[in-house]
Amino acid sequence: MKTMTKKPEILAPAGTLEKLKIAIRYGADAVYIGGNRFGLRSRAGNFSYDEMKEGVDFAKKHHAKVYVAANMVTHEGDEEGAGEFFRTLRDIGINAVIVSDPALIEICAIEAEGLPIHLSTQASATNYETLNFWQQEGLERVVLAREVSMEEIKEIRQNTDVEIEAFIHGAMCISYSGRCTLSNHMSNRDANRGGCSQSCRWKYDLFEIPRPGEQTSVLAGDPVEDFSMSAVDMSMIRHIPDLVENGVDSLKIEGRMKSIHYVSTVSNVYRKAIDTYCRDPENYIFKQEWENELWKVAQRELASGFYYGTPTENEQLFGKRRKIPAYAFVGQVLEYNAETQIATIQQRNNFGVGDVVEFYGPGFTHTYQTIEQLWDEEDVPIERAPKAMMIVKMKVNTPVKPFDIMRKRK
């Protein structure tokens, strides 16, 4: 029987300490977070050094790793303080930093020796010689550009032994990463320093200028559809075997701005699929329920990006969007009493008696039920749980466990 000698790492985004813990509990082998500076997500939750420390301690206990994204493209002066920043990260026990800017790479390599460096996708690495170059520079890993195909990954793997990380899930830049300054020019916001205003998702008019001063809209009259560059998101859930067989070392999930609901669900699904494959590759079959699960937290439709060919009009966001079922994260299980079948739940969104809810938890457990009985903390029966973060008790039909999440269709 064939067995997989090496399982790829599942790398999940964590915008906050709470998300970091959830991602790891739900199956991530590693998480990536942002520090207070040098990142690209100025608006995502960023970690203080104390929070990083707590995150690292938690991760260590669960045999997981923590990386810090410092993938800003620096302008004059931006690099100030980077040496100290990287040294602090190293001393806290961060496992690696994700960097694209050579100025920052150099500072990190010289001033924080011993802290592994991963080349960010922002550098758009698309061939094996580039990977060899960065390996020779001492980098531990290269995150591939999202434009690289599966065939290309196979060839890259055969021609380099630096670690390879590839995106498997989430939203994508329409441009080659780092090669878009639409935001800079249209909104005075620097895309490569965390200010991207998502101009690629806007609706544009497309036209010709046959003679000076004569703009002729090619959409004039009754435009069938505005021009847009916007595209669907990526999901590689159907292609786990290819990723593993071609030797990708780390499978990256996008979304440091995404919710707990998203992070837990996506980590959980990929954990399940990868474990299933690696346990018995020959008898592996893709399960539709995994994809259905990903749909519950999807923002847009899902496709396989550039892995199996250049995206066509079908992967662009034109026309009417398929309706995506929207689910809300309504509660998290704190405790469960097997004798009484009562679960203690922390409220995250309004729910109440009569609602149909779903519990899911680490290990890809799923149960469904209609809420029949509900009590507040003082055991007083209630109909609804309207207050943010209130603690309630609830009768459950099947056992649940702490950290299970309760969701409800909106």
Partner 1 sequence: MIEIIATAESVEQAKALVATDVDTLYIGEDAFGLRLPKSFSRNEITEIIKIAHEQNKQVSVAVNAIMHNDRIKTVVPYLQFLQEVGADSVTIGDPGVIHLLQTHGINLPFIYDAQTLVTSAKHINFWAKRGAVGAVLAREIMYEELKSIGTKVTVPVEVQVYGATCIHHSKRPLVENYYNYTKEHKPNTNALYISEPKKPETHYSIYEDINGTHVFNTNDINLFPHLDKLVEIGLTRWKLDGVFTRGKDYVEIARLFAKAKQMLLDDKWTQEQMEQLNEQLMQHHPKERTLDEGFFLKDPSEVQ
Q: Rule CB under 6 A: which of 164-203 touch ligand SF4?
A: 173-175, 180, 182-183, 191, 196, 198-200
Q: How far apart, in whole angstroms, are the C-alpha atoms of residue 250 and residue 255?
A: 16
By rule CB under 6 A, what count of residues binds ligand SF4? 11
CA quadruple 262, 268, 273, 277: dihedral positive or negative? Answer: positive
Minimum Å gap between C-beta 207 and ligand SF4 is 21
Is the CB of 122 or the CB of 344 nearer to partner 1? Answer: 122
Among partner 1, ligand SF4, none, the one that 202 touches (CB under a kind-dependent 5 to 8 A) is partner 1
Residue 128 interacting partner from ligand SF4, partner 1, none (CB closer than 5 to 8 Å by kind): partner 1
What distances in angstroms separate CA 366 from CA 264, 298, 399, one per listed residue? 13, 18, 10
By a kind-dependent CB cut-off of 5 to 8 A, residue 198 interacts, out of ligand SF4, partner 1, none, with: ligand SF4
* DSSP β-ladder status, 96-99 and 117-119: parallel
Residue 40 interacting partner from partner 1, ligand SF4, none (CB closer than 5 to 8 Å by kind): none
CB of 4 to ligand SF4, least distance (A): 34
CB of 78 to ligand SF4, least distance (A): 18
Q: Which secondary structure element, helix H or strand E, spans residue 21, and what is its range?
A: helix 17-25
Its sign, for the CA torsion 173, 179, 182, 187, is positive
At a CB cut-off of 8 Å and minimum separation 6, what does 341 contact? 395, 396, 397, 399
CB 183 → ligand SF4: shortest distance, Å? 5
Kindly provide the b/e burial profile for residues 117-136, where b requires at least 16 CB atoms within 10 angstroms of the residue's own CB.
Answer: bbbbbbbbbbbbebbbbbbe
Residue bearing tokens 């989430």:
170
14/172 with CB nearer partner 1:
172
| 196 touches, from ligand SF4, partner 1, none (C-beta below 5 to 8 Å by class) | ligand SF4
8 A C-beta contact, residue 47 and residue 39: no
Residue 152 or residue 254: which is nearer to partner 1 going by CB? 152
Binding of residue 228 to ligand SF4 (CB under 6 A): no
Residues engaged in binding ligand SF4 (CB under 6 A): 173-175, 180, 182-183, 191, 196, 198-200
